[in-house]
Homo-oligomer: A and B are copies of this chain.
Amino acid sequence: MPRLHLLLAGLLMLATSPGTLAEQTFSDAPETMAGAPTLSQLSVDGNRFINADGDTVVLRGLSLSDPWHLERQGHWNRAYFEAARAWNAELVRIPVHPGWWREAGHEQYLQWLDQGVQWAGELGMYVIIDWHTIGNPLTGVPHRPNYLTTQEETYYFWHLVANRYRGNPVVAFYELFNEPTNRGGEMGRLPWPEYKAYIEGLVDMIFHIDDTAIPLVAGFDWAYSLEHVRDDPIDFDGIAYVSHPYPQKREPPWQNQWEADWGYVADTYPVIVTEFGYMAEGDRGAHIPVLGDDTYGKAITDYMADKGISWTAWVFDPRWTPNLFTDWDYTPTMQGEFFKKVLAQ
């Protein structure tokens, strides 16, 4: 089928403003975003991310909240991205909740994502797009209704997103499935080989659309554990693995357990920690496994620095928890103060 539109879209990229899409004919693939500013294209080299010059890149930044959630609060705007940049984020993660994706419709959602990608790119920040579901991808049981999706919907989401940001260096990462878990069996069976086959199907599709994208693959236990990677890694080069090592996933001292559970993977493949954070027990919205303090903050950031692991701290929102700020003056919380300082170093 015709690929002329790709060339066209490429030319337009240099000239047009955000939101201008190349004209479509019937047979064309889904639209590609035009006009995004260019950052150096990232790729995977061994266990590192490198830029177009071959330099090793370790990115640190912030996990944002969902565009629709922010839109309804009146804060899906450039100021929000400027605040993230003011905290020295080099990377921002944009979560898309399946339930909201359906409610708002994918055309609206992709326009919000275009805006975020545009703002991030102008401010010099890379973007992770995150399919923010939690549950068992094989049985379809979600942790909560807003996380409910199907394999078919997930394929279609990534088909649209990968076409939208084909060859766009700002959108460096696609986090395929936020937190796979079967809750110890309570969401049905979740054998790694079947999960792996599903993930490989998604990666295969994405690479056919855009082999400059870097898919991010989570392990089980709510994206904490990468134990299965040791013996049975994803059968594609060019991907990276994800962990969400919240403080109470393990009892301190953590380092040896992190190394055994997921950190060891960073010796062979790139690893990126796309969620972690902490808050005090009495705080609003506090819950297991996020209770912790700066001791944890220091331990995990030191551990990741040692290992060359990129990260985004959860969450740059005043309502979701553990929150990084408390109000729309971006007043930092306990962890907010800590991460702001680390990012400034």
Contacts and interface: CB of A to CB of B under 8 A. Distances in A.
Contact of A155 (B25, B152, B183, B188): B188
Contact of A185 (B26, B185, B204, B287): B204
Contact of A152 (B28, B139, B184, B208): B139
Interface stretch (A40-48, A79-87, A140-148, A329-337): A140-148
A196 interface: no
Contacts of A208: 183-186
What is the count of identical protomers in the complex?
Answer: 3
Given A155-B188, A156-B148, A288 B2 contact: yes
A140 B148 contact: no
A139 B201 contact: yes
A203 B136 CA distance: 16
A247 to B, nearest CB: 13
Interface residues of A, number: 45
Nearest to A287: B25
A186 B209 contact: yes
Interface in A129-162: 136, 139-142, 145, 148, 150-153, 155-156, 159
A156 B136 CA distance: 10
A27 B147 CA distance: 13
A289 B151 contact: no
Top 3 nearest A-B pairs (CB, nearest first) are: A140-B152, A185-B208, A25-B287
